[in-house]
């Protein structure tokens, strides 16, 4: 169902401009503000002036409050940059009220009233801020947008780091691949794992520059390991569903990074979760086919969590199934899971099990015909410098299980 949100913007200093520099200058300022707003919104959105120094933005199909909050933050930022008009440097501030369309709001007039109320709230709060018509929403969205906003800095300033977890041949412990897993060295909150910021980055779109950085950094690192002669056969990079939806951009970025770091496409496996694949439309299936033709491999991550019919395995060009760790974890206690693992292994060309934490699991998986695994039993995700030591040995001899409980969970 389509949804609309509306922001009202008020430039406090507009009256001052009219009074001191004249109305002609005031008019130019208004036009300049509109031009800025048009740069920030999408093509299908509507920007209108509501009289005085008030504007409205009508956005089509914005269902997620975080998306509306992110837009409001961008509008605020755009307005905060000073304007240079006829040699005068003019600064303005903005207050933004947001109302999201919902079934509870009866018609366009009601939504305007809600946006106005939110605008009053924003004005009360002080300058340069945005408010939603509901307080609950307000709190949730501000927190998410703050994280997304903070995320821009580490991308630019090197606060992100890739850890690597080895994928091994279960019988020998020989390292066959590595999965880069992103970490964020947060200034005040310490080392953050992706669960705390990837979902937010996905909602706000920040996952696009993040994913671009991750892919390029993984290729750069692989290039370095190749030069040293210790590179694994494959690097399995996680790709977010949001990246897949921006297919053209994703394809371009992948090709650019591969060329830049002289990586053979066959050395890269793209991991897409089962849920993302199930939601994928025909367009994305073309994208996957393009990747297959390029020569990159495709793996289904977290297989066994999506209650999916196995039909989609025949639709998408998949090279590998990655059994979800929740699923693998239960195989030794639940015979039905064990049967599905056996069936999946018979079905797919190649199967890798995630979350291999014990010797019992390793043995069970080998017995079921699964050749590859990844998990704490072999190694946690570790820094590039640490994983390089493992690569130089080429093989991981699992340490006694008791020791693993004490190592830090990253």
Report the nearest approach of ligand C2E to the CB of residue 185 (Å): 14
Dihedral sign computed on CA atoms, order 113, 115, 119, 120: positive
Cα dist from 178 to 12, 215, 363, 383, 385, whole Å = 54, 13, 21, 12, 13
With CB under 5 to 8 Å by kind, the binding choice for 181 among ligand C2E, Mg ion, none is ligand C2E
**Identified binder of ligand C2E from the candidate list 166, 355, 373, 398, rule CB under 6 A:** 355
Nearer to ligand C2E, 90 or 214 (CB): 214
What is the three-class DSSP state of 236?
Answer: strand
Residue 375 touching ligand C2E (CB under 6 A): yes
Token readout for 298 is: 């495709």
Tell me: does residue 300 bind ligand C2E (CB under 6 A): no
Within 13 Å of residue 1, how many CA atoms lie on the same side as its CB?
A: 5
* Residue 195 to residue 183: CA distance in whole angstroms: 10
Closest contact distance (angstroms) between CB of 140 and ligand C2E is 21
- State in angstroms the smallest separation of the CB of 194 from ligand C2E: 4
**Strand extents, DSSP E, 239-312:** 268-273, 297-303
**Residue 163 CB, nearest approach to ligand C2E (Å):** 7
The answer to whether 274 contacts Mg ion (rule: CB under 5 A) is: no
Of 53 and 301, which CB lies nearer to Mg ion in the complex structure?
Answer: 301
Query: How many separate helices (H) and strands (E) can be counted in the chain?
Result: 17, 17
* Residue 274 binds which of Mg ion, ligand C2E, none (CB < 5-8 A, kind-dependent): none
Residue 238 sits in the site that holds ligand C2E (CB under 6 A): yes
Encode 52-72: b = buried (16+ Cβ within 10 Å), e = exposed.
Answer: ebbbbbbbeebeebbbbbbbb
Site for ligand C2E in 192-221 (CB under 6 A): 193-195, 198, 211, 214
Residue numbers of the site for ligand C2E (CB under 6 A)?
A: 165, 180-182, 193-195, 198, 211, 214, 238-240, 271, 301-302, 325, 354-357, 374-376, 381
């Amino acid at each position: 169902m389509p949804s609309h949100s509306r922001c009202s913007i008020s430039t406090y200093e507009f009256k001052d401009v009219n009074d001191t520099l004249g109305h002609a200058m005031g008019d130019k300022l208004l036009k300049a503000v509109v031009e800025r707003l048009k740069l920030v919104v999408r093509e299908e959105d509507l920007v209108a002036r509501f009289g005085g120094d008030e504007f409205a933005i009508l956005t089509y199909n914005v269902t997620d409050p975080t998306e509306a909050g992110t837009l409001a933050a961008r509008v605020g930022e755009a307005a905060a940059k000073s304007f240079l008009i006829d040699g005068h440097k003019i600064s303005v501030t903005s207050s933004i009220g947001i109302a999201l369309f919902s079934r509870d709001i009866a018609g366009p007039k009601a939504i305007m009233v809600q946006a106005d109320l939110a605008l009053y709230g924003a004005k009360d709060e002080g300058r340069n801020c945005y408010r939603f018509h509901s307080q609950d929403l307000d709190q949730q969205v501000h927190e998410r947008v703050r994280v997304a906003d903070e995320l821009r800095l580490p991308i630019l300033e090197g606060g992100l780091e890739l850890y690597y977890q080895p994928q091994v041949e279960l019988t020998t412990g020989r390292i066959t691949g590595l999965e880069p897993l992103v970490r964020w060295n947060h200034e005040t909150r310490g080392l953050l794992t992706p669960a705390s910021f990837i979902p937010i980055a996905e909602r706000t779109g920040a996952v696009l520059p993040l994913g671009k950085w991750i892919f390029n950094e993984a290729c750069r690192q692989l290039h370095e390991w190749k030069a040293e002669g210790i590179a694994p056969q494959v690097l399995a990079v996680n790709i977010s569903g949001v990246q897949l939806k921006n297919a053209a951009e994703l394809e371009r970025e992948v090709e650019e990074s591969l060329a830049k770091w002289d990586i053979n496409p066959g050395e890269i496996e793209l991991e897409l979760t089962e849920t993302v694949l199930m939601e994928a439309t025909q367009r994305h299936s073309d994208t996957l086919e393009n990747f297959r033709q390029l020569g990159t491999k495709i793996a289904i991550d977290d297989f066994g969590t999506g209650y999916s019919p196995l039909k989609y395995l025949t639709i998408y060009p998949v090279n590998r199934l990655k059994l979800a760790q929740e699923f693998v974890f239960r195989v030794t206690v639940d015979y039905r899971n064990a049967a599905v693992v056996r069936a999946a292994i018979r079905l797919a060309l190649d199967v890798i099990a995630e979350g291999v934490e014990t010797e019992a699991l390793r043995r069970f998986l080998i017995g079921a015909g699964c050749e590859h695994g990844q998990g704490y039993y072999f190694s946690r995700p570790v820094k590039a410098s640490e994983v390089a030591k493992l690569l130089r040995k080429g093989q991981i001899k699992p340490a006694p299980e008791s020791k693993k409980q004490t190592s830090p969970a990253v």
